[in-house]
Structure 1
């Protein structure tokens, strides 16, 4: 958990906010060689989720970060056999795996490729048995034909990299003006965003995950800024901005300089220009993006965050409570923080969802960020590949212990 100078996991270390770290054992009691007990300071129903992700690993006592860079540690179904940096990772069956009879495969190779076109070409020519990613526009008919023929299959799920949104620095002008934030929420055409930025591979989404802890697609599509046709919302957004800034408004938009993020920021910039705003995009390197975001050294930027558990504890606790580890929008409200603590301590799931939705309503009323559709993800396999699944999230990682082949 990163206590007292230990190795910390950036993705799962936030569990220490719920664990009684003031105990002599830091809240982790060793019961016997195969059992440990976690002592909490309050109910935390999502503990099992965070313990299941790939970043919550059990490693030998005394191992620190430099040791992890020398050799792998773990107890999974496969062992790292060999690797070529940036090209190939080869895994062999772990004969000492703690689950009898598993894994079914003798091993597998993980090939690293750059670009959708290259990945899909490898899959469509049977160079690989399994691949990930939504089909490109050119390849979509080919995938559809092979799926219809039973040659291949495709699994889809919402992205774990969410919420996806236009982030506004509401701690300073001009976005400390709620009416301006509301105008942007009205003016951005989400359906066009879906088609242009996400090639149609997305679902409507707010803060919480759609259809899970959050609202249904139908409920979201009836809301201002999401409803179609878009004309009335667009006209109202233009009216507000014309009233606020009759001489126009110049804005600089920070953008992570990789293709996906640039594509999203360029589309949003175009939408805002339609409203009468003059937008200049400022591409910055990934390392610069994060450091500037942490310091609120920006005015506006389009980004999508990634979650490891998809629980409301992580969502609100990382991005929206005061001092949250990834609260890069500067949002702070003591009443919200108190309501968050109450929600995390709620064990009744129906009541917990009600409280989570109330937290979402608070965020949507303030609009420190403008929600955009969440992209979807896909996995492909040939028909002889059996029991290929999506894990709880991408960060749970693919153990591949249950996958088998029907052709051997």
Structure 2
């Protein structure tokens, strides 16, 4: 494998920037008019949509975070900050949340943003379209506009993390005057996103670039400071590295750059490395099992796979030390993490014994069973991830057939439960009730809805524990409930949790204030400046 990585480095050295980049980068997209502040950003893979209401994949969040907003954003320690809400109050009993909205916000089509939009978004749109928001706002007894710029949420019972439910991808504000009374999935406006953010869509040349321009009517006084953001669609890993190395792009994030190349690029004088800004995401690289189908419906089979995967090897060889071995479904960065759970040490003998106990004996060729692995399409890191899974499971007699996919087909197959096992790294949003419970609650098994309980896992004790953790505002009660849930889940192993990933952000330091909150590069960029 080291030779494979070396050959890619040799490719980067041997290939001129023009030769690699020419197929993907239209000359016009790279032009920066004199005196204009333009940031060039890598976006890989290309988003399937630019309407955050339809999909919340990482690349959709990266681009749409500049066009859409929610009521709040969050500091690195999850303290809420103003966004479309300038202030708020929470009643002593934790049941009433009152938000006072900014009074000069407008949608990109010039219509005023009002409390009516908030009520429509949270009471109607998100309840139909958004798996996480459906859980969050199901706690509301009433959502009402007190006047044009005041909204009151009254809960049926306390919901501990409710104040954290207003990050933009969790509750993006949607224009009521465009969507109310329509079929949300087929509304023509889906192709021309209209938000309240500091940037608005100027041009989308599919397969090439997405260009956003400054919103002159933005509600933040004197903001934004940049004139344009250009997101470049670069399918090839070598092209992305060369673009960053040559200064053609100013920003990469997440898995844009091959993990083996991060430290080399970070050492260049015109680039800096940042790992803050992913606290709200706290991704855990994992394998999800479709527990509906044999042999994945047998806990012993899933546990055998957990024992056969070397977490440290995945950390070192796939993520190049940018992370640490995972212990379970909740990241150590997320509130109410429980470290004292069942440990799946790397032990091939234990794995084989579990398979033997199931009656899955090796055949004459040494193969016990063949499984299909739906490969995650977000870059070559996940291709190598799948290959390492294939190699490691072969050692216990499991043949792995890797199924390639593109972003659209993966999302569709995942949401429709058309997989045996697949990899994933969804965001946790700072609290188990917001980003973790959705994958395990039996009430959140919704066919056709990706990033819900697609494994089909059901356990009444886990349902009860998540409910107890969510319905309390007492930290001790919440910790006890979530600790119980984590211990049961790790024992049942509906997933194999492998690495808590530290995403890298590589950026040109001429741009300031890129990472200012716990959602990092998915922020609005309203405060980003270009020095000089």
TM-score (norm 2): 0.64
Matching of residues 2-401 of structure 1 within 5 Å: 8-10=128-130, 12-14=132-134, 15-20=136-141, 27-54=142-169, 56-64=171-179, 65=184, 66-69=187-190, 71-133=192-254, 135-136=257-258, 139-140=261-262, 142-146=264-268, 149=269, 151-157=270-276, 160=281, 162-205=283-326, 206-213=328-335, 215=337, 224-226=343-345, 230=346, 233-244=347-358, 245-248=360-363, 249-256=368-375, 258=377, 259-283=380-404, 289=410, 293=414, 296=417, 298=419, 300-307=420-427, 309-324=429-444, 325=446, 326-389=452-515, 391-393=517-519, 397-401=522-526
Instruction: Indicate conservation of the 8 Å contact 2:468/2:478, yes or no.
Output: no
CA distance in 2, matches of 1:161, 1:39: 29
The CA RMSD over aligned residues, in Å, is 3.3
5+ long unaligned stretches in structure 1: 21-26
Q: Relative to structure 1, is the Cα distance of residues 130 and 164 closer, same or farther in structure 2, using a 3 angstrom cutoff?
A: closer
SS of the aligned residue for 2:151 comes to strand
Q: Relative to structure 1, is the Cα distance of residues 211 and 92 closer, same or farther in structure 2, using a 3 angstrom cutoff?
A: closer
Q: Relative to structure 1, is the Cα distance of residues 100 and 140 closer, same or farther in structure 2, using a 3 angstrom cutoff?
A: closer
Q: Relative to structure 1, is the Cα distance of residues 388 and 6 closer, same or farther in structure 2, using a 3 angstrom cutoff?
A: closer
CA distance in 2, matches of 1:84, 1:290: 22
Alpha-carbon distance, 1:292 to partner: 5.2
Instruction: Indicate conservation of the 8 Å contact 1:310/1:393, yes or no.
Output: no
CA distance in 2, matches of 1:179, 1:3: 42
CA distance in 2, matches of 1:327, 1:125: 43
Deviation string for 1:297-347 (max 9, x for gaps)?
55x413114237242113343110113141122211222212211110111
CA distance in 2, matches of 1:122, 1:372: 31
CA distance in 2, matches of 1:118, 1:72: 29
CA distance in 1, matches of 2:308, 2:126: 47
Larger mean Cα displacement after TM superposition, 168-177 or 315-324? 168-177
TM-score (norm 1): 0.81
CA distance in 1, matches of 2:354, 2:319: 28
SS of the aligned residue for 1:265 comes to helix
Structure 2 counterpart of 1:23: none
5+ long unaligned stretches in structure 2: 1-120, 447-451
Structure 1 counterpart of 2:43: none
Q: Relative to structure 1, is the Cα distance of residues 214 and 371 closer, same or farther in structure 2, using a 3 angstrom cutoff?
A: farther
Instruction: Indicate conservation of the 8 Å contact 1:161/1:304, yes or no.
Output: no
Q: How many residues align?
A: 388
CA distance in 1, matches of 2:283, 2:259: 24
Alpha-carbon distance, 1:389 to partner: 0.5
Q: Which stretches of structure 1, 4 residues or longer, exceed 6 Å deviation after superposition?
A: 2-7
Deviation string for 1:255-309 (max 9, x for gaps)?
14735544333322221221133434444666665555556555x4131142372
Alpha-carbon distance, 1:194 to partner: 2.3
SS of the aligned residue for 2:287 comes to strand
